Amino acid sequence: MSSVLDTIKEWINPDRARHRSVPRMETGLRPNLRLDEAEELLAAGVHTPDDITVTEDGTVVLSSGCELLRLERDDIRLIARCAARIAAVTTVGNAVVAAVEGAGLVTVDASGAVTPLCADLAVARGVTALTVVPGGDLLVTVGSTTADVRGDWARALLAGDASGRIVRVRDGAASVVAAGLAWPSGIAPSGDGQVIVAMSLTHRLEIRSLSDPSEPVLSIATNLPVYPGRIVAAPDGHWVAAPYPRNRITEMLLDERPLLSEMVETINREEWFVPQLRSGSLFTEAMQMGQLRVLGQVKSWAPARSCGVVFRLDDTGRIAESAHARVDSPRHGVTGVAVTDGQVVTALHGHGSVLRLHTDETAQEGRS
């Protein structure tokens, strides 16, 4: 009971935090309206974009369920349809490498021809991100290898799962190079023989060596106010998608195992009070308590269950800028990010859209 009281006191006064704490969104993560003001390249309601990448010739490619799609100026074209959900994508030249749930890695060329690349069990299920590193190897992050958690981020969060892996694929053969990870959700080269890895459940970003990624060399962003996701390298650093926000109610639940178990056993999966890619659609969701919802209106002080956030790390690992959507905006659930011709393109699985950000300077001019 004392831990509950401590958490409530921390919620009222964050400066007295004694255990789990959620930092404020400030400095480079200061809230803004850049996602709300972004140009819509793919309207919501037609597809469910998840991951996004750019080929060598500048073609924007995205995954949506079991489909691989090409984004064109005024249209969207089907490249290929796979046998199961596409979990992640990356590019090798003008070809796309896709992780197909239950099947492993495949290569898809511009004509839509699908060629098996690696069917090893290590990369057959639970893949969260892919990247190509210098030398041509593929590095694959697997969120969880636990059977009843694999592919379910919320269950992994509640279970405190740490069975994730980093897998190296070379010439079609897979080898596990790091294990025991808390849902690795993104990976990208960072130069000097290193990669940057997002550890979602421990809300931090790490630098690991390409030669031996089993242990982190350096943690460059710790105790983030969001759960980080996929990462893409850019000329001025790295862009990181943030699919889920942290909030103090969930942090309190994570410290109360009996209460957590009761919630999982007695409440519908859709109504668990955990971060989601989108929220506000169920009138029964747990926002009624504590006057967080009054006369059907969610109050501004209500802890957010979803968010729209993507941010950039500079070359020193500092969060230099970010793009946000309002708490009550539908543009939540950023699951993929790519950079093409100096422009940032994001895939919003929560909203079902693809957006192109205005530059930070353009956004500031538009608000002035």
Which domain, by its residues, includes 330?
Answer: 25-47+224-368
| Distances 230 to 66, 76, 108, 109, 279 between C-alpha atoms, Å | 19, 23, 21, 23, 21
**What is the model's pLDDT at position 346?**
98
Instruction: Tell me, yes or no, whether 159 lies in a domain.
Output: no
Instruction: Tell me, yes or no, whether 294 lies in a domain.
Output: yes
Closest CA to 89 of 81, 101, 99: 99
**What is the model's pLDDT at position 75?**
85
Instruction: Tell me, yes or no, whether 110 lies in a domain.
Output: no
CA dist., res. 151 & res. 349, Å (int): 15
Residue 47 dihedral angles phi and psi, to the nearest 5°: -125, 170
**What is the model's pLDDT at position 366?**
44
Q: Which two tokens stand for residue 318?
A: 């500092």
How is 292-354 classified by DSSP, letter by letter? SEETTEE-TTSPPS---EEEEE-TTS-EEEEEE--TT-S---EEEEEEETTEEEEEETTTTEE
**What is the model's pLDDT at position 282?**
56
Q: Which two tokens stand for residue 327?
A: 């708490």
Instruction: Tell me, yes or no, whether 120 lies in a domain.
Output: no
CA dist., res. 186 & res. 315, Å (int): 17
Q: Which two tokens stand for residue 227?
A: 């759960």
CB atoms under 10 Å from CB of 29, counted, come to: 19
Closest CA to 95 of 72, 112, 71, 118: 112
pTM over 0.85: yes
Residue 309 dihedral angles phi and psi, to the nearest 5°: -145, 135
CA dist., res. 160 & res. 277, Å (int): 19
**What is the model's pLDDT at position 280?**
63
Instruction: Tell me, yes or no, whether 278 lies in a domain.
Output: yes
**What is the model's pLDDT at position 278?**
87
CB atoms under 10 Å from CB of 304, counted, come to: 18
Taking only the tens of pLDDT, the chain with its 368 residues reads 456 776 677 667 765 555 567 888 889 999 999 999 999 999 998 899 999 999 999 999 999 999 999 998 778 999 999 999 999 999 999 999 999 999 999 999 999 999 999 999 999 999 999 999 999 999 999 999 987 777 899 999 999 999 999 999 999 999 999 999 999 999 999 988 999 999 999 999 999 999 999 999 999 999 999 999 999 999 999 999 999 999 888 888 888 888 888 988 898 888 888 899 987 655 555 554 444 555 566 555 566 789 999 999 999 999 999 999 988 889 999 999 999 999 999 999 999 999 999 876 544 444 44
Specify whether the CB–CB gap between 211 and 193 falls below 8 A: yes
Structurally, the chain folds into a number of domains equal to 1
**What is the model's pLDDT at position 134?**
93
